[in-house]
Each structure stands twice: as structure tokens, then as C-alpha cells.
Structure 1
Amino acid sequence: MPVFKPCQKSGARRILRAANDDDSAAFDRKIQREQAAKLFVQERVRSLKLEMKVSRVEFPLSGRKANVFFTAEHRIDFRQLVREIAQRFGVRVQMTQLGARDEARLLGGIGVCGKTLCCSTWLEDFRPISIQMAKRQNLSLNPSKISGQCGRLLCCLAYEDDQYPSGRKSAPAAAPAPEAS
């Protein structure tokens, strides 16, 4: 019984042709524009004293829209920021607030296991993870050991959790601790 559904990327588009030199140059310009836009947005966030962290700025190949991904603890009034971005880059601006796990998925990285983060490779949906899962697995409850890069409990705590109740029933009883003499 699988715990998570296998990764099925929906919305994938058909490949029209191999990229030529013009396509590669357009893509390089897009990447440079995104980097410049991210620096501009970060600078404007600081100057407007907005309590938010800009994760990424993306432009589609058409270049008519900017997607700004950010994290914030509270609601932010970023109307002035949107006006400044639209004026500077001549685009329609979409602001998308990310949760901690979504940001880890977007940025990627290496987990404590040494592998690429599950959320950035194959994990599609985030199941609720509880501290009870770590307790059932007799793991150390040290937050630094059971927390991922996002600061939340490790998603992998759920992978084997459903096996522990049945495994405990069939496992032999623990031997009593030896007495010190």
C-alpha cells in the first residue's frame, strides 16, 4: 500500500522542436531579466520596509507577466511594490505567497539523508506530519534531527509510519534491562 501517489506531472506541453541558437539566446535573456528583477524587488522590499522574503521572480517566455514568489509571516500590503515592478519592467505582476514547504520545493536542496529533497523531485502533495510519528518510530525528539530545510517536521516521517503498529504486534517483546550489581 503506497503512502504517496507517484509523481505525475500534469500540464506538460508537447515539444515542438529542438531549441536553436535564437531560442537559447532568448532563454538566457529571460534568466538575466529574472535575476535583475529579483534584485530590484528585494531592494524595493527593503526600502518599503515590507516584512517579506522574495524567493524567486519568473517571467514566461512572452515576457508580459512577472510572477513574484515570496514568503511572509503575516498579510502584506504590497500594492506599492506591484506598481513599482509593473512600471520598471512594463509587465503585469502576480504575487504568490508560499508556505515553508512550498518554498523548499521551489528552491530545492539536499536533505539530511544526503539526497535531493523529496518535495522538489517527486513528492506531489504534503500530508500532515505529527510529532506522534517520530515517537512511534522511537526517534530522537530533538527538533534539529527531525526537522527539514523548511523548518517543519520531515516529510519522510510519514513514509513508514503505517508499518509501525502492525510491526510492533509481530515483534518479540523487549528483553528486560540487565540489573547492575
Structure 2
Amino acid sequence: MTSDQTYPSGTPVVVLSQRGPELAETRGEIPSDHPQAQQQPAGQLLREATPEDLAAAAHLAQLAEDLKWALRAHARSLGLKVKIVQLEFTLDESLVTLSYSAEERLDLRGLISEVRSFTPARVNFMAVGAREQAVVLGALGLWTRELLQSLLAGVAADYHSYGA
């Protein structure tokens, strides 16, 4: 079942991606002359998200956060030199994607037992590089950039007020 209905920008919806059902947000219409308008969508829009979908997504986001910290501790105890970057569940909790970075190729099967103590979901390991890490951790970068801009604006204001 796919939805032919259009939704206003910012509406939470359930989509079927390659990984499974996921929560997404509509972003508006793409102009017909835009190159992306000619591309096939990566997934299927199923329906508008229900309050139950939103509650499930919030629960799974918290579970992912808790699991991320447990996996970081477990990886340290195993002596693995790995950075657990992010965990994402599908909306039906059938799959968890574990994004990580490491300097060298690692056998991460030892982490699966820790995942199993939290969820029965299948585990998909996805190695990410520095660029992908920056996207995931971008909020800190944005905050730092905004702080730096405000500090520089303050320095410039002080500089001009002293008549230099």
C-alpha cells in the first residue's frame, strides 16, 4: 500500500526504505525542472505517521542512545579501537544499523551479544569516514560556529567602541 496523498512540508510520514519501515518528514514539492524531479524515489511513502508511530520512534531513539553508550563501554572492555558513531532502528525494530569508524578493519561480532541484551533486531554494521561522522555530529559543529561568530562579533564591537 502506498499513499498518493500529498502532505504539507514538515509532516511526519512512514516510508518503506531499503532497510524497512522508517519515520521521515515531508520536505515539499520539487520543481519539475529540478534534476531530482526525474529520479525515482529511494523508498515508498506509506502513510502519515500516527501518534503510535511517533511514540515508537521516540522509544527507539532512546533505546539507540542507551545501546550506543553500552556498546562503547563493551568495545573498550574488548580492547576494540572503534568509535561507535550512531545507531538507528527501523520503525518495526527488525533492524538496527550501527555506524562506526575505525583506523583498521575490525571484527565487530563481539558486539552483537551486547546488542542482543537490548533488542532482538538484526545488526547491520556500517563503516563511516570522517565526512559522514561530521554530518552525524554536525550539531556540535554548528553550535561551535555560532559561538565563534558571536564571540567575533563581540570582539569587533569592543574594538570599534574603543575607537581603534
Q: Could you tell me how far apart the structure 1 residues matched to 2:108 and 2:65 are?
A: 20
Q: 2:76 aligns with which of 36, 40, 46?
A: 46
Q: 2:139 aligned with 1:99, yes or no?
A: no
Give me the CA root mean square deviation.
Answer: 3.0
Residue 45 of structure 1 contacts residue 81 of structure 1 at CA under 8 Å; is this kept in 2? yes
Aligned-residue offset at 1:17: 3.3
Q: Could you tell me how far apart the structure 2 residues matched to 1:58 and 1:77 are?
A: 20
Q: Could you tell me how far apart the structure 1 residues matched to 2:35 and 2:61 are?
A: 27
- TM-score w.r.t. structure 1 length? 0.51
Aligned-residue offset at 1:25: 1.1
Q: Could you tell me how far apart the structure 1 residues matched to 2:112 and 2:35 are?
A: 34
Trace 1:125-136 onto structure 2 (pairs within 5 A): none
Gapped regions of structure 1 (runs ≥ 5) = 1-5, 116-181
Per the alignment, residue 75 of structure 1 pairs with 105
Aligned-residue offset at 1:105: 2.2
Counterparts in 2 of 1:96 and 1:10: CA distance versus 1, 3 Å: farther
Q: 1:23 aligns with which of 8, 28, 53?
A: 53
Q: Give the number of equivalent residue pairs.
A: 110
Per the alignment, residue 86 of structure 1 pairs with 116
| Percent identity of equivalent pairs | 31
Aligned-residue offset at 1:13: 3.6
Counterparts in 2 of 1:77 and 1:12: CA distance versus 1, 3 Å: closer
Counterparts in 2 of 1:14 and 1:77: CA distance versus 1, 3 Å: closer
Counterparts in 2 of 1:11 and 1:49: CA distance versus 1, 3 Å: farther
Which has the greater radius of gyration?
Answer: 1
Secondary structure of 1:56's match?
strand
- TM-score w.r.t. structure 2 length? 0.56
Q: 1:62 aligns with which of 73, 86, 92?
A: 92
Residue 70 of structure 2 contacts residue 114 of structure 2 at CA under 8 Å; is this kept in 1? no
Q: Could you tell me how far apart the structure 2 residues matched to 1:46 and 1:13 are?
A: 37
> Which ranges of 4 or more aligned residues in structure 1 deviate by more than 6 Å?
none
Counterparts in 2 of 1:7 and 1:70: CA distance versus 1, 3 Å: farther
Aligned-residue offset at 1:78: 1.5
